Structure 1
Amino acid sequence: MRVHVVSDVHGNRDDLARAGEGADALVCLGDLVMFLDYADHSRGIFPELFGEDMADRYVRLRTERRFTEARELSRGLWARVDGDPMVLIEQAVRRQYTELFAALPTPTYATYGNVDLPRLWPEFAHEGVTVLDGQVVELDGWRFGFVGGGLPTPMRTPYEVDEEVYAARVAALGPVDVLCSHIPPDIPDLCYDVVARRFERGSEALLEALHQTRPRYHLFGHVHQPLVPRMRVGATECVNVGHFKARGEPWVLEW
């Protein structure tokens, strides 16, 4: 069995369309949406609405962890737009989802990232795309458990889940061979982004599950440039499958 795994697609439709080539299945760990490309400030929903100059300023504030000022800038920009901000964002996300879900091969098993809008996924997930969150699927005798989204942060991204709800979804999986999530377990080396120079939020519930249920693998993304992309925790190989938007290649699991 050969499974290709991607995460943090962020609008990379062309490579996503090829990600399942040679695989029996594709696993997608979320963040399909491109709201703002931190490497190219001309790309994404934010510059589409407000221009590259404002995107430059917004990225600088967030990179410097001046989140209050970033939110004030964002509120000021939205106050000047003609139309309901949520409607405009949803329209832009729908345009991206139309292309990205069409690129997903059959079969695909997917869960949400922290910048996704889960309520829209049923409209775009075609036959052969299975969406899982707090659920398990069996592939060639191996149990794959999925939990999506992120935890609350100062970033206030669209799909941040209350800690207790998230922990309950992790617990509901029970023993699995492969634990699949968007965010990493709460281990500093796996959570630190060396380019953004900050710790992303990891999950204590995921770390606890590694110790209690001892899966063969824990696969995740979220941290685009991790200090440590792979490490062993007890019996489990923890793997950041890579920033697919930049990398363009899936991570491969075979057994």
Structure 2
Amino acid sequence: MKIVAFSDIHGKYGKVIEFLKNNQVDLVILTGDITHFGPPELAGEILNEIASFDVPVLAIPGNCDPAELYGNMDNSNAINIHGRSVTINNVGICGFGGSNPTPFKTPLEFDEVEIYENAKKALEEVKDSKVTLFVTHAPPVDTKVDVLPSGDHVGSISIRKIIEESQPTINVCGHIHESIATDKIGETEVINPGMTAGGYACMINIDDSNEDDIKVESKIIEI
């Protein structure tokens, strides 16, 4: 299965459409900030256009998406995995959107307790899958993927704790546009492909032809 993940579209999804016109994938994941502070109905329009390529689309909201966006996601042709899980071809996928608190009081922020309880519950639902993808908007704290230009680490304590405890195969995140990187927390690969408009995405290839030896490869790609 070939999966492409896009982060932080902020309403500008031309590169996503161009990529899908020229590349065949089995699944598209959007890791939040689908809009730039709305309007909520724009999310539905974006998700439906991406889904028009006849490929499943999974999405979570980001901290810059308004709370009202939930309904527009659920009414679109995409699958909203915020606090939810799905299983596709032995791959368990769950998500949690928004972010831990920021100084900017953006529309969709959660305290760390709420993040831990709800994101952990979603991941528990797919813990028996042979491959688990943990899709979050906020990156885990104290990694290469949550660093501001100032050097400050601003990721989520709870996302990191969940990864340390549950060890999903991959955590694909976003939120910090400047922190395009990959890292490891134990056996978990952590990937922040940065803002899609910057020309990057995450590609995940899962070879399950041998169920006893499933191979997972992930990388940041230019688009």
Q: 1:169 to 1:98 in 2, by over 3 A?
A: closer
Q: Who is 2:96 aligned against?
A: 147
CA contact (8 A) 1:19 1:26 kept: no
CA root-mean-square deviation:
2.1
**Match 1:231 to one of 177, 183, 193:** 183
User: How far apart, CA to CA, are the structure 2 residues paired with 1:34 and 1:157?
Assistant: 11
Q: TM-score, normalised by structure 2?
A: 0.79
Deviations 1:112-160 (A, max 9, x none): 1000013234235555300011211112101112011011121101100
SS at match of 1:153: coil
**Deviation above 6 Å: which 4+ runs of structure 1?**
none
Matched, 1:97 2:43: yes
Structure number, greater radius of gyration: 1
Instruction: Indicate yes or no: 2:21 matched with 1:28.
Output: no
1:187 aligns with 2:138: no
**Counterpart amino acid of 1:220?**
C
Q: What's the CA shift for 1:98?
A: 5.5
- What runs of 5+ residues in structure 1 fail to find an aligned partner? 36-91
Aligned partner of residue 16 in structure 2, secondary structure: helix
Q: Is residue 207 of structure 1 aligned with residue 153 of structure 2?
A: no
| CA–CA distance in structure 2, aligned partners of residues 126 and 163 of structure 1 | 28
Report the CA distance between 1:95 and its aligned residue: 6.4
CA contact (8 A) 2:181 2:191 kept: yes
Contact 2:8 2:31 in 1 (8 A): yes
Residues 1:254 and 2:209 aligned together: no
TM score, norm. by length of structure 1: 0.69
Mark the CA change 1:103 to 1:198 in structure 2 (over 3 Å): closer, same or farther. farther
Q: Matches of residues 43-122 of structure 1 in structure 2 within 5 Å? A: 93-94=39-40, 96-97=42-43, 99-105=45-51, 106-122=55-71
Q: Within 1, Cα distance between the matches of 2:40 and 2:83?
A: 24
SS state at 2:39 partner: helix
Q: Higher strand fraction: Structure 1 or Structure 2?
A: 2
Deviation at 1:19, TM superposition (A): 4.2
Provide closer, same or farther for how the CA distance between residues 126 and 104 of structure 1 changes in structure 2, counting only shifts above 3 A. farther
Q: Secondary structure at the match of 1:212?
A: helix
CA separation in 2, counterparts of 1:123 and 1:139? 23
The count of corresponding residues between Structure 1 and Structure 2 is 195
Give ranges in structure 2 of 5+ residues lacking alignment: 207-223
* Deviation by residue 1:18-56 (Cα, 9 ceiling, x = unmatched): 344411110001101235xxxxxxxxxxxxxxxxxxxxx
- Alpha-carbon distance change, 99 to 235 in structure 1, aligned in 2, over 3 angstroms: same
Contact 2:146 2:153 in 1 (8 A): yes
